[in-house]
Chain A
Amino acid sequence: MTNLSRLTLPSVLQVQRLPLRVVIVTALLSYALQIGAIVQAQPLYVIVGLTLFPWIMVFAFEYIWKYEHYGFYAFMLAFVFLQLGHLGEHTVQIIQLNLTHGNLAKSHGIFGQLDLETVHVVWDSSVWVGLAICLYKFSRNRWLYVAFIFASLHEVEHLYLYYVYNFDRAFYFSGGLAGVMGYGGVIGSPLYRPYLHFFYNFLVVTPLLIAFIRQTTHAYDQYLARALPHLSETELVATTNRLQRVIARPGDVLVTEDEPSDRFYIITEGEVELVIKTPEGWERTVDRLGPSRFFGELGILTGKNPATARATKHTELIALDAHSFTELMKRDAVVRSDVEADMKRLHELKYATAAPPIPAGG
């Protein structure tokens, strides 16, 4: 009937939407493309690009789900990957330098082989702008300020290098590629250019990762927050980590009338109809619930659901187990009153004399 995937640790960091078979197919496709590129003796950036391509497409699918559930935090997650990718690029360059005994001409990283300066100025500018956006959004996160300041210094370096590369090519090739802080550069330092930029990246990545971990402790499901708007942030975060993702196909019954519930459900996509049986044996739809609406609470609190909840189309829900829900109700009086108001509304709907009956099964 339903497909459940249990969420344990910080749910935002777990893969939620991708079924295992999709991951397996993606891995096979990725390997096939990688082997094909190697056999055809393609350059390193083509091999890595083709290997990553299927994963990027598949994770974009997962990412949309994360954005819907966690809002802007999902942007930060993607952005952290972008910066880690940049650090990876520099790490590869350092490895290449070690293998080629410091030959820079043969050590341009992976994507830097396309055009070293252009690739790095685009990548760094994206990191700088992305950090500015993250900082505006999560402006209480101090570590983002640290990362942003170092990203800004790195940006100065790349803007200068990009200018010299494009408009003073002779100087660039006679040592201008050292930049501002590189050995022999405008200001100079003991570090040669590739090693300096490797260091710059650590100065951005480390505070960014600390900021990201901090932000993770504040991330919660937006649907939960909309359904129970009076939950405190602490409760939202704790409850989010206990949520289960549920998928229902059209016609799937999630809770049954007059029976207890084992979960409290919040709809995130699709629609669920609440159906009651009349004394004459007819079915009557008393309500249709869309995203951010919830049900199942009465079945937990009283042991009897007032109505059967049935998916009318492909529906995604998040569910909280009965024990966690009961604990939450005990702890928070305001949330309890929210839930009680909804229970009252449902009770009134059930006993209202409206709408002609629909024949059972019809």
Chain B
Amino acid sequence: MKQGYVEAAIFVVAAAGAFGLAWYFALTVGLHPLIVPPVEFRQKDWMVAVGAFAFVVLVDAVVFSLIALKHRRERQALQPDRGPSLMR
């Protein structure tokens, strides 16, 4: 339990530190020349972003389903005298 808190604290500190560093560089070093699309064009390819998000969510869902299935099989294997399965 304690180990979990320590790990979570390490993660939060590392993430906050990395964000702070990235922001610091963005403010001090920046990008030159900085090319930013006009506001009306920024969402020009938004459907592609949604498509990419949907694709990734779909793949992740498959991965999580496979994991759930694996855990279910493991749980079933641990049950003593569960009797013959009628589905077989």
B84 lies within 8 A of chain A by Cβ: no
Interface size on B, residues (CB 8 A): 42
A198 lies within 8 A of chain B by Cβ: yes
Task: Render A167-181 as a binary contact track against B, CB cut-off 8 A, 1 for contact.
Answer: 010010111111010
Name the segment of A61-69, A100-108, A252-260, A315-323 touching the other chain: A100-108
The residue on B at minimum CB distance from A107 is: B31
A185–B42 CB distance below 8 A = yes
B63–A135 CB distance below 8 A = yes
The residue on B at minimum CB distance from A193 is: B31
Counted as pairs of residues, one from A and one from B, with CB atoms less than 8 Å apart, the total is: 130
The residue on B at minimum CB distance from A196 is: B22
The one of A146, A192, A199, A207 that contacts B31, using a Cβ cutoff of 8 Å: A192
Shortest CB-to-CB span from B14 to chain A, Å, is 4
B1 lies within 8 A of chain A by Cβ: no
A159 lies within 8 A of chain B by Cβ: yes
Query: From residue 1 to 57 of chain B, which have CB atoms closer than 8 A to chain A?
Result: 4, 7, 10-11, 14-15, 17-19, 21-23, 25-26, 29-32, 34-37, 41-46, 48-49, 52-53, 55-57
B29–A202 CB distance below 8 A = no
Given the known inter-chain contacts A180-B49, A199-B18, please indicate yes or no for A171 contacting B44, CB distance below 8 A: yes
A132–B63 CB distance below 8 A = yes
A27 lies within 8 A of chain B by Cβ: no
Given the known inter-chain contacts A136-B63, A139-B67, please indicate yes or no for A155 contacting B22, CB distance below 8 A: no
The one of A148, A178, A194 that contacts B36, using a Cβ cutoff of 8 Å: A178
Q: Which residues of B contact A102 (CB under 8 A)?
A: 29-32
Q: Which residues of B contact A176 (CB under 8 A)?
A: 37, 44-45
Query: From residue 188 to 226 of chain A, which have CB atoms closer than 8 A to chain B?
Result: 188, 190-196, 198-199, 202-203, 206-207, 210, 214
A265 lies within 8 A of chain B by Cβ: no
A243 lies within 8 A of chain B by Cβ: no
B25–A195 CB distance below 8 A = yes
B59 lies within 8 A of chain A by Cβ: yes
Main secondary structure of the interface of B (DSSP, over half): helix
The residue on B at minimum CB distance from A214 is: B7
Complex Cα spacing A261 to B71, Å: 44
Interface size on A, residues (CB 8 A): 55
The residue on A at minimum CB distance from B34 is: A192
The one of A155, A168, A186, A191 that contacts B46, using a Cβ cutoff of 8 Å: A186
B34–A186 CB distance below 8 A = no
Query: From residue 297 to 324 of chain A, which have CB atoms closer than 8 A to chain B?
Result: none
A199–B22 CB distance below 8 A = yes
Shortest CB-to-CB span from A55 to chain B, Å, is 27
Shortest CB-to-CB span from A197 to chain B, Å, is 9
Complex Cα spacing A183 to B39, Å: 12
The residue on A at minimum CB distance from B59 is: A132
A207–B36 CB distance below 8 A = no
- Measured CB to CB, the residues of B under 8 A from A are 4, 7, 10-11, 14-15, 17-19, 21-23, 25-26, 29-32, 34-37, 41-46, 48-49, 52-53, 55-57, 59-60, 63, 66-67, 70-71
- Measured CB to CB, the residues of A under 8 A from B are 94, 97-98, 101-104, 128, 132, 135-136, 139, 142-143, 146, 148-149, 152-153, 155-157, 159-160, 163-164, 168, 171, 173-178, 180, 183-186, 188, 190-196, 198-199, 202-203, 206-207, 210, 214
- 7 pairs of residues in contact across A and B, judged by CB atoms under 8 Å: A132-B59, A132-B60, A160-B48, A164-B45, A175-B41, A202-B17, A214-B7
| 5 residue pairs, one from A and one from B, having the closest CB atoms | A175-B37, A202-B18, A184-B36, A159-B52, A195-B22
